[in-house]
Amino acid sequence: MKIVAAVAISISATCLSTLATPALAQADFPSRPVRIIVPFPPGGSTDPMARLVAQKLSERWNGVSVVVDNRPGGNTIIGTSIVAKAAPDGYTMGYCGPSFFSTATLIPNIPFNAVTDFVGVTAIVRSHVVLVVHPSVPAKTLRELIALAKSKPGELSFGTSGIGTSTHLYAELFMQLTGTKLLHVPYKGSGPVTVDLLAGRVNMSFQISITQIPNINAGKLRPLAVSGDKRLKALPDVPTFAEAGLSNFGLEGWNALCAPKGTPLDARTKVANTWAEIVKSPDIEALMEKQGMDALATSPDETTRRIKASVEEYGKVIRNANIVWKP
């Protein structure tokens, strides 16, 4: 009986130890600096949000350093590859978004698989796309623009940040849904697009709303519609695409933290729970609204699921448009 009791006690102790391990690991994480790889250069539209995330996480973790490491190049492949090859311990995460979703289909022979080589940590923010036209374009509404485009196939031009970018895919999806044909003018980044758009050298563009709110408010560009299921508080007079007459339009433009496959769930959950607490603060909510974005917070499993869904969603548009990558 004593032997049986001893064995039972041993088994119970082992079970308790096994159950307690994740909790202890989560409580101990992070115990050293955490790195967020951003596959874009400093100063871009993505960089400020990544730095905000790093700052807020560090504050919540009593000053544990959270460092943004910009690794641009290769249409985000360089930075994303670093994340894929990093030790799966929770101390290296990637800031992923639309480029991450599209690259999976757009570029052949990339050195990682966007679905199987990564796991989700948490969603961070949802951005919205606004369709803007130069004031010289006679269309005052989305319906008028569609009619104008149909009457002049291939004549209205749209500027994008480059082949396969979200601004390009939005335009391709627009043409697929409306039966229109527009002239694509790709640029190297959103800055040059805005310069030529303001000068009237291109007629229109699908742009991340945060980049164009100042130009819209100044009357330099005319907004016709925004993505999402509700109007932006930063642009209350601009209808959604559905309100403007184009239902089922839009790719979900969201950003998340991801990690290399094998990263422990407890570490990822610690990050997700901390971010969920951060986005409840009124100052974060007000900041997001001012910039035309929605704060998001999801569990690691939900984030992984959404990443897979977005890769499929973006891939469908790329395949239907027969977009070919040109380095």
- Alpha-carbon distance of 322 to 282, in angstroms, equals 44
pLDDT digits (tens, 9 = 90+) for 109-134: 999 999 999 999 999 999 899 999 99
Instruction: Tell me what pLDDT residue 307 has.
Output: 97
Instruction: Tell me what pLDDT residue 224 has.
Output: 98
The segments of the chain whose pLDDT lies below 50 read: 1-25
Instruction: Tell me what pLDDT residue 325 has.
Output: 81
Collapsing DSSP to helix, strand or coil, 53 comes out as helix
CB 256 within 8 A of CB 303: yes
Instruction: Tell me what pLDDT residue 18 has.
Output: 36
pLDDT digits (tens, 9 = 90+) for 143-199: 999 999 999 999 999 999 888 888 999 999 999 999 999 999 999 888 899 999 999
Instruction: Tell me what pLDDT residue 252 has.
Output: 84
Give Cα 57 to chain centroid, integer Å: 19
Helix H, strand E, coil C: the string for 166-214 is HHHHHHHHHHHHHCCCCEEEECCCHHHHHHHHHHCCCCEEEEEHHHHHH
129-226 to CATH, choices 3.40.50.10320, 3.30.70.20, 3.40.190.10, 3.40.50.360: 3.40.190.10
Instruction: Tell me what pLDDT residue 251 has.
Output: 85
- Same CATH topology for 29-126+253-321 and 129-226: the answer is yes
29-126+253-321 to CATH, choices 3.40.190.150, 3.90.100.10, 1.10.10.10, 3.40.50.10540: 3.40.190.150
* Whole-angstrom Cα Rg for the chain: 23
